[in-house]
């Protein structure tokens, strides 16, 4: 069977082929024989065939059913691995094995759905040891952005709430076939074992962050007027006139926790 393959645009496919970049990613992951690993979007198996012999067990999740025979041919006999054909957004990491483990997750994420995939992963952080992802550089910069930077937004706050973020290196389009029109970057995300700033309700925290950034150019008091008044901001020591990108993660935690306390007090009065 030939390992040649025609890419399908609707899947956002750009297959990694440059050996120096593959080696660099493997070195960054530093796989061990005790690792249980999930690979999202293995494509033609450039990383998969390197990882399978180095880990205890690898599950590759691939949406494109036409790639499954190619992956099986490439990785058969290399070690313990399984291929799941389907959409990773529908996969519950907790149900992938009967044995309790904390997964190491890797992937060259399709650019067209990288943000939903990242949100899906942070919903499973209690089952994840770390994540190494190849992403569009612009998305990696957003994840790693700091308050006050133009790229700082909802994605930055949500990922940094749950994980330590490290941008490792950039990757030029020529490392892929076909080459994308933009640069890529590899990032490392390590979920906190203990959150440095813990929200009383993760759902309310996520809601407040989402609403704060729904209108980036508006002031915070306008975006969050449904749950916070001017005197609430004053009590928290946060200026209501700032724009959402000027607040740090811990500021959003403060806002969310204040709303919880405020609602409880109003219920009791």
Name the average pLDDT for the chain. Answer: 92
Write down which residue in 157, 191, 225 finishes a domain.
191
90 is a domain residue: yes
CA distance 133 to 242: 33
State residue 1's pLDDT score: 36
1 is a domain residue: no
User: How many domains in the chain?
Assistant: 2
State residue 269's pLDDT score: 67
20 lies in which domain range?
Answer: 9-191
Binding residue numbers for S-adenosyl-L-methionine: 14, 16, 41, 62, 87, 108
Output the pTM of the full model: 0.92
The string of pLDDT tens digits covering residues 28-44 is: 999 999 999 999 999 99
State residue 7's pLDDT score: 53
89-103, 164-178, 239-253: range with lowest mean pLDDT: 89-103
The CATH number given to whatever domain includes residue 165 is 3.40.50.150
What is the three-class DSSP state of 267? helix
Detail the DSSP E strand segments found in 33-162.
36-40, 57-62, 81-85, 103-108, 128-136
Strands of the 103-108 sheet, one edge to the other: 81-85, 57-62, 36-40, 103-108, 128-136, 184-191, 163-171
Report residue 204 CA to chain centroid gap.
20
Q: Both 64 and 14 in a single domain?
A: yes
Which residues are 191's β-sheet partners? 163
State residue 100's pLDDT score: 75
Binding residue numbers: 14, 16, 41, 62, 87, 108
**Percent of the residues in the chain that have a pLDDT greater than 90, as a whole number:** 85
CA distance 91 to 190: 20
State residue 265's pLDDT score: 80
**Percent of the residues in the chain that have a pLDDT greater than 70, as a whole number:** 94
Report residue 225 CA to chain centroid gap.
30
- Is the pLDDT reported for residue 161 higher than 70? yes
Taking residues 70-86, what's their average pLDDT? 93
Q: Both 81 and 178 in a single domain?
A: yes
Residue 3 pLDDT class (50, 70, 90 cuts): very low
The string of pLDDT tens digits covering residues 80-120 is: 999 999 999 999 998 887 677 899 999 999 888 899 999 99
Residue 181 class from Cβ within 10 Å (0-12 exposed, 13-18 middle, 19+ buried)? Answer: exposed
Taking residues 131-140, what's their average pLDDT? 97
Q: Both 171 and 207 in a single domain?
A: no
- Is the pLDDT reported for residue 2 higher than 60? no
């Amino acid at each position: 069977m030939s390992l040649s393959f025609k890419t399908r645009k609707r899947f956002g496919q750009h297959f990694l082929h440059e050996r120096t970049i593959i080696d660099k990613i493997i070195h960054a992951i530093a796989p061990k024989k005790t690792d249980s690993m999930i690979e999202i979007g293995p494509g033609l198996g450039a990383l998969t065939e390197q990882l399978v012999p180095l880990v205890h067990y690898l599950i590759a999740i691939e949406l494109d059913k036409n790639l499954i025979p190619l992956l099986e041919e490439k990785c058969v006999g290399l070690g313990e691995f399984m291929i799941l054909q389907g959409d990773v957004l529908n996969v519950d990491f907790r149900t992938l094995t009967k044995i309790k483990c904390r997964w190491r997750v890797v992937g060259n994420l399709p650019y067209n759905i990288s943000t939903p995939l990242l949100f899906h992963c942070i919903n499973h952080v209690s089952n994840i040891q770390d994540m190494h992802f190849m992403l569009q550089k612009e998305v990696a910069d957003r994840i790693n952005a700091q308050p006050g930077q133009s790229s700082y937004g909802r994605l930055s706050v949500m990922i940094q709430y749950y994980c330590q973020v490290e941008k490792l290196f950039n990757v030029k389009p020529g490392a892929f076939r076909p080459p994308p029109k933009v640069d890529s970057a590899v990032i490392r995300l390590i979920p906190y074992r203990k959150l440095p700033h813990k929200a009383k309700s993760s759902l309310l925290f996520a809601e407040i962050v989402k609403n704060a950034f729904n209108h980036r150019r508006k002031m915070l008091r306008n975006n969050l007027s449904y749950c916070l008044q001017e005197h609430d901001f004053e009590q928290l020591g946060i200026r209501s006139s700032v724009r959402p990108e000027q607040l740090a993660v811990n500021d959003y935690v403060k806002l969310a926790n204040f709303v919880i306390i405020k609602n409880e007090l109003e219920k009791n009065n």
